[in-house]
Structure 1
Amino acid sequence: MKVITGNPGTGKHTIAKLVSEKLGLDMIDINRVAVEQGLFKKNNGVLDVDVSKLKKIIDKKISEKSILVGHLAPYVVSSKNVEMSIILRKSPYKLQSIYKKRNYAKKKSLENLGSEILGITYYDAVHQFGQKKTFQIDTSTRTISSTVKKAESVFRGTGTNEDKVDWLQLVLKKEDMRKFFPY
């Protein structure tokens, strides 16, 4: 199975849909499965997911011909089932405007921006799937088409992991730590 994950707003669903069509894979949307199974609960305006129940359901749905998409991927699938994983990354400055358009609450925006800046999803994916199975793609300036081509090459085994993402250094250089981490 192949995985596309990343923080909200990085392009996961758009890219996964196009890649799954090109490679003839069944796309499994983690969020859709969680909603269909009623595994979301509201908690202080945030939706919490029962990850252990979701993991059991996902395990039954996946196969070699699957592409799993969603920001919860590192937490709901075991490494033995993953052939390759891609973490889509995007500049926090670009994500900020995406979250504003989506009308995210300030707290939710800051949590997601902080996660992207610190590389939490990337770290968790490497920890769960292994360094050799985990690739980053920076979608900040890539077109959808070039991102799809890059993802296809990774999944075909011909892609390289040349996208080095370090948003923390960018934020420090711009002296914007308080902007993204005000508390």
Structure 2
Amino acid sequence: MRNIKIAITGTPGVGKTTISKKLAEKLGFKHIDITEVVKKHKLYSEKDEEMDSYVIDFDKLREFLDGLDNIILDGHVSHLLDADYIVVLRCNPETVKKRLEERGYKQKKVMENVEAEILDVCLAESEGMVYEIDTTGRDVEDIVDEIIDAIKNKKIRKGIVDWTEKYFYLLEQFK
């Protein structure tokens, strides 16, 4: 598995960074945290103070990544960065809510991200070679091994997770 860009995407709180780092280690790839790179290299157009996040300048970010191979792109927008293979991590919305609250996210940001998970925004935006995994309650090593197998065998899997009916009530909590 060489000369490849792998995107690990999903809403905040699904386990992207933990899984991305372990995957990069196992494959001998470079781990790139999109949020850190955007901040460090000023690859943004502005900071959204209300949401406490940066508005990414995708042209600058793509230019920064141009020519890099054997990388794991870790971030909730990594599926928008011309990856060869996209892994969409999903997680129980209640777990996502708890994790984001523990991180001290503002209520509006928690709501936005829980809603994005319930409505599978990252999955819906992903195109090409896409593999969806539910990380809820799973061991990191098992998830990483599944990802490696999926990439090696060029597996495509979308639509295995549907939180809409079971967790729609969470959306009501934020109104």
Q: Assess if the C-alpha contact under 8 Å between 2:130 and 2:156 holds in 1.
A: no
Is 2:162 the partner of 1:161? no
Look up the SS of the partner of 1:110 in the other structure.
Answer: helix
Offset at residue 59 of structure 1 (A)? 2.2
What is the rounded CA distance, in whole Å, between the counterparts of 1:8 and 1:108 in structure 2?
Answer: 10
Give the 5 Å matches for 1:1-183: 1-40=5-44, 41-45=46-50, 46-48=52-54, 49-60=56-67, 62-63=68-69, 65-75=70-80, 77-78=81-82, 82-126=83-127, 130=128, 133-157=129-153, 161=157, 164-172=160-168, 175-180=169-174, 182=175
Query: Which amino acid in structure 1 is aligned with residue 61 of structure 2?
Result: L
User: Aligned in 2, Cα 1:146/1:57: closer, same or farther, shift over 3 Å?
Assistant: same
Q: 2: distance between equivalents of 1:134 and 1:102?
A: 28
Q: Work out the CA distance in 2 between the residues paired with 1:91 and 1:120.
A: 14
Deviation, structure 1 residue 176: 4.1
- Please state how far the C-alpha of 1:153 moved relative to its aligned partner: 1.2
Runs of 4+ in 1 over 4 A off after TM superposition: none
| Corresponding pairs, count | 168
Q: Deviations over 1:42-93 (max 9, x none)?
A: 2233222222322221224x21x22211111123x12xxx331101111111
Structure 2 unmatched ranges of 5 or more: none
Q: State the superposition RMSD in angstroms.
A: 2.0
Report the alpha carbon displacement of residue 146 of structure 1 after superposing the two structures with TM.
1.5
Percent identical: 30
Q: Which runs of 5 or more residues in structure 1 are unaligned? A: none
| Higher helix fraction (1 or 2) | 1
Change (3 A) 1:157 1:43: same
SS in 2 for 1:9: coil
Judge conservation of contact 1:3–1:69 (CA < 8 Å) in 2: yes
Instruction: Say if 1:34 and 1:146 are closer, same or farther in 2 by CA, change over 3 A.
Output: same
Q: Following TM superposition, by how much is the alpha carbon of 1:106 offset from its aligned partner in structure 2, in angstroms? A: 0.5
> Deviation at 1:143?
1.4
User: Take 1:177 and 1:18, find their aligned partners in 2: how far apart are those partners?
Assistant: 32
Q: Quick check: 26-35 or 93-102, which moved more? A: 26-35
TM-score where L is the length of structure 1? 0.82
Counterpart code for 1:103: G
